Amino acid sequence: MKKILAFLITILLFGMSKLSAQNYLNYYEKINEAEIANLDKEFKKADSIYRMAFELVEKPFKDDYLLASINSEKLNDNQKTYGYLKNGILVGLTEKRIKKELSKFKKSDEWKSLKKEYDLTREEYLKSLNLTLRKELTEMVDKDQASRHPIFGSWKKSKKVDSYNYKRLLEIIKENNGKWPDRFIIGDGNENGKYAFGEITIMLHHFSKDEVLNLKPYLIDAILTGGLSPYNVVYPLDYTNSKMIGRRGKFIDSCHYLGAYLSSNGNKAVICDCEKAEEERKKIGLEPLDDYFRKRNSTYDCYEQK
């Protein structure tokens, strides 16, 4: 009887995990639709799609709540803007970030109410986190960056820090029941927008390709269950999978696997295999390349080997 019960519980948990993954994939798709509608200046349509997206999952991302509030500000709907921001604060959105992005709303009565409620709402968010683990991980990131300081850093220091950080991340994953330490556990402290490098995953840029591949299943699982934004993961995956396609003097031309990096120095971003990139992007909740580069005000080319 106990074996049957354990089996049924396992099946139930597996089914719930698959449902959560599909919900977040649907969520990412809807969020992209809302962002494209906003770019097309169809603000009412965008708001409607944002609301549908937020109904799909228990904990939407703070940056999506912020973008929804910026969109509703254009509709002069202060009550809606207030609601999006209040929910955003509950998942990590800060007053500093809100002040930076919204101007008209700050003149409203709803803004005054939100400011009065901010500290208690923020405290509720912080109470849900493992702040000890968060502190450890952010210190690991600080050491990662410090070891690469042009004056005080060195290659030797960097290698030592990278080795420690990789091994410690594996230990943390093991201690966390085989799960990546995601935003549900340590929060989301990124203040630079949804397309910025991940607060913790920035470390992965300095790991070897094999190390990143070893961590990839945990990262993908976190994306599919909403613990990590796809953008937190796409940069290190692209960085460690870039391919040299030519040289221009001292400069190396590279193409990328997923298409995270933008055009630079007047050169378009180059995707190694656009068809493959589109397939892989869809699997982890990323929008089509055309939508991504449009939203980022950038351009790309598909690499054709000669």
**pLDDT tens-digit series, residues 208-240:** 999 999 999 999 999 999 999 999 999 999 999
CA distances from 200 to 124, 127, 219, 231, 305 (A): 22, 20, 12, 12, 35
In this predicted structure, the answer to whether residue 3 has a pLDDT above a threshold of 70 is: no
Longest CA pairwise span in the chain (Å): 71
Mean pLDDT of 270-289: 97
Q: Contact at 8 Å (CB) between 53 and 34?
A: yes
In this predicted structure, the answer to whether residue 286 has a pLDDT above a threshold of 60 is: yes
Q: Contact at 8 Å (CB) between 144 and 206?
A: yes
Q: Give per-residue pLDDT as tens, 136-166.
A: 999 999 999 999 988 888 999 999 999 999 9
Q: What mean pLDDT, rounded, does the chain reach? A: 92
Distance, C-alpha 245 to centroid of its chain = 29
Q: What is the pLDDT of residue 252?
A: 67
At residue 16 the predicted structure's pLDDT band, cuts being 50, 70 and 90, is very low
Q: Give per-residue pLDDT as tens, 48-101.
A: 999 999 999 999 999 999 999 999 999 999 999 999 999 999 999 999 999 999
pTM score of the predicted model: 0.90
Q: Which residues contact 257 (CB under 8 A, 6 or more apart)?
A: 237, 238, 241, 242, 243, 271, 272, 273, 276, 277, 280
At residue 246 the predicted structure's pLDDT band, cuts being 50, 70 and 90, is confident
Mean pLDDT of 18-22: 61
Mean pLDDT of 10-29: 67
Long-range contacts of 17-22 (CB under 8 A, 24+ apart): 17/225, 20/224, 20/225, 20/226, 21/224, 21/225
Q: What is the pLDDT of residue 249?
A: 60
Residue 60: half-sphere exposure toward Cβ, Cα within 13 Å: 27
Beta bridge pairs of residue 269: 300
What does the alpha-carbon distance between residue 53 and residue 145 come to, in Å, rounded to a whole number? 36
In this predicted structure, the answer to whether residue 200 has a pLDDT above a threshold of 80 is: yes
At residue 305 the predicted structure's pLDDT band, cuts being 50, 70 and 90, is low
Domains present along the chain, CATH in parentheses? 2-127 (1.25.40), 179-302 (no CATH)
